[in-house]
Structure 1
């Protein structure tokens, strides 16, 4: 079980909850903080203090005072009116990630939630009762209001939910699970939806997949270098030392280890004097992409353990402050940076693929790796597909974070569009997995012609893993299923674990 305390949640924790169904609980200290903070909210109501979202309306209605007998109605109406997201439904892993991230933020004890409502959120997560949440509709400031409102509807027994693989009314899902809907009290609706948990949830899961793909890209690139009779001397430690980026050095070290024992690589002047950039500059490009991941990882680590709602209630000092921690600009920038970096991973992969299938560049491999060139086309159109995906990524990489459209009658006059950035980053990473898959299939096919027994021990492990389910292209066939299968294995790190038993990779 993962214990939430508002401060120590990690990417690995979130992925275990989101992808493996690991259960969560709340620390004793966190519950104490939540209780203390809630007591301050009750005091605000009793004293008739003017506090945004507790005794006033929301957004442009911040100056509208709410009578004491309407404060609960205010919270329910907030959720119902804001739950208007549209588009495709978020996948279950993203929804689970949203739930655990929101619970962790509430556990910090600055939001004014009741212990009962927080416990209900955690119970729904642990029983895998998932709200149906459409993906589109967040501006990424004032939090992910529309998307998180669909999450909050579940706790109220409204909206739709998925339980045990079936979509049903949320009230029915709660009833079958033996739970009763909650009645939101003062501040609770706002506490549930005023945060960055949608963009952060998408970001965390996308980041985790990106990390695995970046590692696997080193292995795939190593195999491609082998089948193209490449020159590993470019990866010599001395070359890296005089341009001392640690990420570049890490990639070069990976490549040296991965290529150790290969009978296919060559030396300078043996076949050619130097390789093309897509081979020779792997450490420089893959290393720079790792620099992007370092930046993104740092920002996600902070955001996962941040209080991002408004107003924030500081029970110890008796302060209630309206601030702007809900603004998603840090994550918007991070997600735009992530998609740019990962897009470049696909760009260089597609260029390596082109060298494999182009007989004028491959150094003796048959055109398009065809067994019967002319009669059969081999991997000709697979390269087209990779090129198409790379082009699509360039469109997706247009930065969302540079856009802002005023909302709420210009009260909320600058927004981050961080959730759009995160969604596009997720699309880019999916595309990168497919491009790397096509390169890997091409490298394995080229190894059939060069002699797979001549591969280095580490790359041979990957080759054997691929060949368990992807057979050689003895004759033309559709390889759509092969590409999707290989991409899924790369994203989820299935083969990475096998390779790392031979060569532990540096990230």
Structure 2
């Protein structure tokens, strides 16, 4: 098994996805910055948020040895349990953040977190409990598992539970992170990139089945409007699609504007990945332990991630809409030369039902594209008067994977049928399942 060595600087979305699914062994790398921050934190004097004070509206209340009570009070959540792979991704992200330095948490916890990830232990985190200003409920639950006050979700084979005597003063620093949100965001980026890449191959099948012109893909066209995503899509599609003489002067937008729309989605995805990977390797701690001081700040705020993922989900709808448009074109004898709906005889329904399935999935994508960044929340007696809702933006991006897969699978089945020839009417569920399986290879969502 390959190793993923974390050092607080080089964690990628692909790395988070690999760790989440147990495809790499996670190793805690050099902990120099974490040790330096811990040493500084132990020497701090004066009021430091969460270390010697309460939190939220209690920020001005001096407390002593209340850190474990903070964990107990914040270990709350609702809804279904987070799947093990997402919880494992959260542990990976938090481990990497702690290695970046700035938290001031005892660095001896780092190998314990790595052990938990590799041995298959995950905290019993619930779905609901964060608004994009820190995943306090999920990480408080994790901390209580380390303390032995809550049970870990255990791996199939018996192993020693990962326990660590987290000090009371390390309670707030350990949970002051958006690690769960970033984990979801990283997994979503990775899966959507795989699907967007697969979509070019599906579109190539449709181009061939419909006899679509390659003229819109020409290098001269891309050079006239040099968006990088557009150029990349056109270049790849040119390599996959070897057309004969154009059947029409101009094809519908599903073909003619595919490179422009799909390329724009790739550009948006690239910006989202850059935003996520910046935060995966950033010290988003509050307070930030740097130099000899504790810096109270707002680095935990998730506005960049929320904005990037609102844009990504909206962009995904655009390319999915073109997919359903190509699917509709494949049902049209004017473009395929066959019978309506790719039927084998007049009056048969053929592949008609694929449009219903695809439009159902597209409707779900449109619903999931509703922006989260137009809302906010005021909590804790007004002390916390804004929220980014990146948690919801990332969660909805993860939920986009399934309906987008379905749109692509419907197009793939129709294009394959158009190329291979019609067959008598029969249930198409197995065809869709096979197409979905092909789209998910080699990754598992």
TM-score band, normalised by shorter chain: over 0.9
Counterpart position of 2:368:
396
Counterpart position of 1:205:
187
Equivalent residues in 2 for 1:186-265 (5 A)? 186-260=168-242, 265=243
Counterpart position of 1:350:
324
User: Relative to structure 1, is the Cα distance of residues 180 and 330 closer, same or farther in structure 2, using a 3 angstrom cutoff?
Assistant: closer
Cα distance in 2 for residues equivalent to 1:79 and 1:95: 18
Counterpart position of 2:11:
9
Structure 1 residue 477 corresponds to structure 2 residue 427: yes
Structure 1 residue 424 corresponds to structure 2 residue 396: yes
Cα distance in 2 for residues equivalent to 1:202 and 1:482: 30
Deviation at 1:181?
A: 2.9
User: Relative to structure 1, is the Cα distance of residues 447 and 183 closer, same or farther in structure 2, using a 3 angstrom cutoff?
Assistant: same
- Larger mean Cα displacement after TM superposition, 120-129 or 152-161: 152-161
Aligned-residue RMSD, C-alpha: 2.0
- Identify which of 407, 412, 416 aligns with 2:384: 412
Deviation at 1:351?
A: 0.8
Cα distance in 1 for residues equivalent to 2:61 and 2:73: 17
Is the CA contact (8 Å cut-off) linking 2:40 and 2:293 kept in structure 1? no
Counterpart position of 2:272:
296
Counterpart position of 1:489:
438
Q: Deviations 1:381-408 (Å, cap 9, x if unpaired)? A: 2211111111121121111122101111
SS at match of 1:377: coil
SS at match of 1:105: helix
Structure 1 residue 80 corresponds to structure 2 residue 72: yes
Cα distance in 1 for residues equivalent to 2:336 and 2:434: 29
Counterpart position of 1:267:
245
User: Relative to structure 1, is the Cα distance of residues 402 and 240 closer, same or farther in structure 2, using a 3 angstrom cutoff?
Assistant: same
Equivalent residues in 2 for 1:430-441 (5 A)? 430-441=402-413
- Identify which of 307, 323, 341 aligns with 1:368: 341
- Identify which of 242, 259, 262 aligns with 1:283: 259
Cα distance in 2 for residues equivalent to 1:63 and 1:492: 54
SS at match of 2:225: coil
Cα distance in 2 for residues equivalent to 1:337 and 1:410: 29
Deviation at 1:473?
A: 5.0
Equivalent residues in 2 for 1:67-146 (5 A)? 67=64, 71=65, 74-141=66-133, 143-146=134-137
Q: What TM-score do you get using the length of structure 2 for normalisation?
A: 0.94
Deviation at 1:289?
A: 1.0
Structure 1 residue 62 corresponds to structure 2 residue 12: no
User: Relative to structure 1, is the Cα distance of residues 484 and 98 closer, same or farther in structure 2, using a 3 angstrom cutoff?
Assistant: farther
Cα distance in 1 for residues equivalent to 2:245 and 2:385: 60
User: Relative to structure 1, is the Cα distance of residues 11 and 180 closer, same or farther in structure 2, using a 3 angstrom cutoff?
Assistant: closer
Is the CA contact (8 Å cut-off) linking 1:345 and 1:432 kept in structure 2? no
Counterpart position of 1:170:
none
Q: What TM-score do you get using the length of structure 1 for normalisation?
A: 0.83
Cα distance in 2 for residues equivalent to 1:313 and 1:418: 25
Cα distance in 1 for residues equivalent to 2:319 and 2:325: 10
Cα distance in 2 for residues equivalent to 1:312 and 1:352: 51
Deviation at 1:80?
A: 1.8
Q: Deviations 1:63-112 (Å, cap 9, x if unpaired)? A: 11013xxx2xx222222211211112222221111111000001112101
Deviation at 1:492?
A: 4.3
Structure 1 residue 340 corresponds to structure 2 residue 302: no
Counterpart position of 1:454:
none
Structure 1 residue 42 corresponds to structure 2 residue 42: yes
Is the CA contact (8 Å cut-off) linking 1:339 and 1:429 kept in structure 2? no
Is the CA contact (8 Å cut-off) linking 1:368 and 1:380 kept in structure 2? yes
User: Relative to structure 1, is the Cα distance of residues 116 and 494 closer, same or farther in structure 2, using a 3 angstrom cutoff?
Assistant: closer
Is the CA contact (8 Å cut-off) linking 1:199 and 1:331 kept in structure 2? no
Counterpart position of 2:145:
154
Deviation at 1:228?
A: 0.7
Counterpart position of 1:461:
none
| Structure 2, unaligned runs of 5 or more | none
Deviation at 1:217?
A: 1.1
SS at match of 1:140: coil
Q: Deviations 1:235-276 (Å, cap 9, x if unpaired)? A: 11111111122221111111111013xxxx3424xx322111
User: Relative to structure 1, is the Cα distance of residues 202 and 488 closer, same or farther in structure 2, using a 3 angstrom cutoff?
Assistant: farther
SS at match of 1:201: helix
SS at match of 1:88: strand
Deviation at 1:319?
A: 0.9
Deviation at 1:215?
A: 1.3
Counterpart position of 1:33:
33
Is the CA contact (8 Å cut-off) linking 1:369 and 1:445 kept in structure 2? yes
User: Relative to structure 1, is the Cα distance of residues 92 and 185 closer, same or farther in structure 2, using a 3 angstrom cutoff?
Assistant: same
Q: Deviations 1:355-406 (Å, cap 9, x if unpaired)? A: 11234x43322222222453x4222222111111111211211111221011
Cα distance in 2 for residues equivalent to 1:152 and 1:381: 50
Cα distance in 2 for residues equivalent to 1:195 and 1:225: 46
User: Relative to structure 1, is the Cα distance of residues 292 and 139 closer, same or farther in structure 2, using a 3 angstrom cutoff?
Assistant: same
User: Relative to structure 1, is the Cα distance of residues 430 and 165 closer, same or farther in structure 2, using a 3 angstrom cutoff?
Assistant: farther
